[in-house]
A and B are shown apart, each in its own frame.
Chain A
Amino acid sequence: MSYPPQQPPYGQQPYPPQGQPYPPQGQPYPPQGQPYPPQGQQQYQQAYQQTQAAMQMPPQGQFGAPLPQAAGGAGPTVHDVNSLPVNDNVNPYAFSVDLNGSYYLQKGKMIAYYGEIRFSGIGRGVIDQMLERNFNSPLHASDWVVAEGRGKLLLADRAFDLNSYDLENGNLTVRSGNLLAFEPTLQLKQSIIPGFLTLIGTGKFVAASNGPVHFVEPPIRVDPQALVGWADCPAPCHHYDHSYMHGLIGGLRHLTGLGGASGEEHQFEFIGAGQVLLQSTETLMAERSVGQVHAEAGVPGSGVPHQPGGHGGQQLPNVNVPGLGNVNLGDLGRRFGF
């Protein structure tokens, strides 16, 4: 299992951020008194010294604030088919795939490409055979597209952060809305946890997140909205802040908000060895349908094809008190000890 957490989150070759014509973060505006095309290049470049250390440095002065003499009248980083990175990020929000063969991607995430590439919906002809190999459930396959051919393909998703990950004979479970593209050497399976997909095998995949992704090792408890996915460790369980939610006082607090609810009484708990992927905001990405499971006894989520919000199974099982109706009283009854 290679899941190198020490790897920079945007892939092995950091994109050259100093090439962007906008002022980098941390220094949102050019220093006062200077004309807009900032002359303070030195400062900007210093801000990125750490990231630059590991990568091959373009000659200084080639990047930085756009020079008035720039050829073609353009900003400094001009990519063409040869200079685009190979299977790596162009910037935090766009990923370049060096396509030679096929690649699976979510519908509508291509922004541009060079070369001869065909996009075909999954589920017909030759592709049907690939489908059999790579998707366990044909039911969600219509959200995916096969890109076939040769060329450089740029992917992006509503300006969310993109990261690529390498799996080596491993498995990783990811929230369905976050998975953007993957190599056909990987198999995509529907997780038994509603709203999650599992990738198994060896290969590269691209996932989107709202803000950069952090890798943490279990044991850890995470906020449900910050969870992007996990690799290798056992599937998480729910954890509730027991003392805060327990008993009559806890129930009243929960229902009325009196005494204050912190909003953090519920977490996902991870144990074992592996990696947990967290995003740095609590804004969820829109969930993709992962397909319906067969309604069958013992299958979690069956009969509940799509649970909005992404944290399926968050409610405690309802144990209804006979004669009291069905108005969430099971939960209440437990709380108040009826």
Chain B
Amino acid sequence: MAGDSVKARNGTMVAYTGQMNFKKMSGGGDGLRGMVTRRLTGEQMEVMEVKGQGTCYFADRATEVNLVRLNGETLYVESDNLLCTEATLHTGTSFTGLNGMASGNGLFTTKVEGHGWAALTSKGPAIILRVSQGMPLRVDPGAYVAHTGNLNRNLKSGAGWTTLIGEGGGEAMQVEFSGEGLVYVQPSEKMTFGGDV
């Protein structure tokens, strides 16, 4: 860093060299409107602005850190998984609809837009899977981390009457991505409602 700034989740700085200032940004650093939106949507994120000269290291509970370069695209990421972004990126919330709720990820997700680097955390290194026309991808909601590109999310339910009597396939909830884009999955599953059925 040379005088520029980085937005990072609160408490994720582990070490730095040089001169750094840490400033808490209220409401996810999206301004007043963003703050209100975040409050309302529950997709809350404690964010700080780090500014200064030198090298600053971020980490979170020894999870893997994955760098994503954005060139004007939009990255949709679970707020739990967003570690830090360059100041050139804007964050916001986006509505995922009932899909998110049913899979236990909440109704809203965090949107990152602009040009620059974003760092995502994942339990185990994230695997990047390409989705293209005619090649949809289905993901366990607990393993989903983020996605970019022009993708449709659909909830696919494999639950049938056997699920009710406890003989389900264990993968009753899947999120289907179709369109063009990339999906980041982690080799681990968060505890979600969907992962448990």
Tell me the count of chain B residues lying within 8 A, CB to CB, of chain A: 52
Set of chain A residues within 8 Å of B50, measured between Cβ atoms = none
Instruction: List residues of A (207-241) whose CB comes within 8 Å of B's CBs.
Output: none
Question: A159 and B68 in contact (CB under 8 A), knowing A72-B148, A79-B128?
Answer: no
Could you say which of B75, B129, B143, B195 has the most chain A C-beta atoms within 10 Å of its C-beta? B129
Per the bound structure, the CA–CA distance linking A77 and B67 in Å amounts to 12
**Taking A110-B140, A156-B188 as contacts, is the C-beta distance between A74 and B128 under 8 angstroms?**
yes
In the complex, the answer to whether B128 meets A145 with C-beta atoms within 8 Å is: no
Report the separation of the CA atoms of residues A124 and B163 in the bound assembly, to the nearest whole angstrom: 12
Q: Count residues of A near B (Cβ-Cβ below 8 Å).
A: 52
User: Which of B48-72 touch A at CB < 8 Å?
Assistant: 55, 57, 64-71
Query: How far, in Å, is A12 (CB) from chain B's closest CB?
Result: 19
A-B contact count (CB 8 A): 158
Most chain B CB within a 10 A radius of its CB, from A84, A110, A111: A111
**B127 near A142 (CB under 8 angstroms)?**
no
Chain A residue nearest in CB terms to B166: A142
Contact for B124 among A29, A110, A121, A156, CB less than 8 A: A156
Any A CB within 8 A of the CB of B130: yes
- Structural contact, A74 and B182, CB atoms closer than 8 A: yes
Enumerate chain A residues within 8 angstroms of B186, measured Cβ to Cβ: 111, 156, 159
Q: Does A9 contact B (CB under 8 A)?
A: no
- Residue B132 at the A interface, CB < 8 A? yes
Give Cα A73 to B148, complex, Å. Answer: 8
Q: How many Å from the CB of B170 to the closest CB on chain A?
A: 3
Q: Tell whether A126 is near chain B: CB-to-CB under 8 Å.
A: no
Q: Is B185 an interface residue (CB 8 A)?
A: yes
- With A72-B148, A159-B124 known as contacts, the answer to whether A108 contacts B130 (CB < 8 A) is no
Q: Is the CB of A75 within 8 A of B143?
A: no
Q: How far is the CA of A114 from the CA of B183 in the complex (A)?
A: 12
Residue pairs across A and B with Cβ atoms less than 8 A apart, 16 shown, are A21-B68, A37-B117, A72-B149, A73-B75, A74-B128, A74-B182, A78-B129, A80-B130, A90-B127, A107-B170, A113-B137, A121-B167, A124-B162, A145-B169, A159-B186, A162-B187
